[in-house]
A and B are shown apart, each in its own frame.
Chain A
Amino acid sequence: GEEVAQTPKHLVRGEGQKAKLYCAPIKGHSYVFWYQQVLKNEFKFLISFQNENVFDETGMPKERFSAKCLPNSPCSLEIQATKLEDSAVYFCASSQSVRVSSNQPQHFGDGTRLSIL
């Protein structure tokens, strides 16, 4: 598609439950990035993929968080045993190239709002 599609728009989970978020990048984009935005403010980089391969996972919490991008499937971000502090909006972005430019910017989806109760 022509847009980064994230589902669901809003996900509510009880503390300790699992949460799984999905992202369909723009067709033809090889790179996928996940960011976490807390309280409408700072974005925190989590992980990036080049096609189905992890490209940079330096931002991923060492526990409970995992992500995948499998061929012919939306990418996913999964959080096991969710905690209150996981409440945030999770954004996915895709790009054609790892080198961002005005011709090849990172295109963002509209995010999934995760609420942990």
Chain B
Amino acid sequence: GESVGLHLPTLSVQEGDNSIINCAYSNSASDYFIWYKQESGKGPQFIIDIRSNMDKRQGQRVTVLLNKTVKHLSLQIAATQPGDSAVYFCAETHQGGKLIFGQGTELSVKP
């Protein structure tokens, strides 16, 4: 389910199911997007990236989809595991290399 207001959006899935986390970005001129995973007490960790000339990129158990028409990114995690529990952020790069992060989504995996 999802929560609103000051709380992070949350996604709760059963171990072994697939997870889909969504993100909207703001700058139509952005040409590079990244998904980060943040575990409690840690910094963001790079998961997968995609350039704007692509609409899909696959990694190990993860896939990123990019829809430039509606400025939307999604991260798909196959066969979600308890170790995938974390907060996930999308980010777009702006001039000078700075990252502009979207709102995070907290993924909770039930064993």
Contact = CB atoms under 8 A, between A and B. Distances in A.
A43 B43 contact: no
A73 to B, nearest CB: 21
B97 A99 contact: yes
Given A39-B6, A100-B93, A105-B49, A110 B100 contact: no
B104 A41 contact: yes
Given A40-B87, A48-B96, A110 B101 contact: no
Contacts of B89: 43
Contacts of B48: 102
B101 A56 contact: no
Interface residues of A: mostly helix, strand, loop or mixed? loop
Interface in B27-68: 32, 34, 41-46, 48-49
Interface of B: 6, 8, 32, 34, 41-46, 48-49, 87, 89, 91, 93, 95-101, 103-104
17 contacts: A4-B43, A31-B97, A33-B97, A33-B98, A35-B101, A43-B99, A45-B98, A56-B95, A91-B43, A91-B44, A98-B96, A100-B97, A105-B49, A106-B46, A106-B97, A108-B45, A110-B41
Interface of A: 4, 31, 33, 35, 39-43, 45, 48, 55-56, 59, 91, 93, 95, 97-102, 105-111
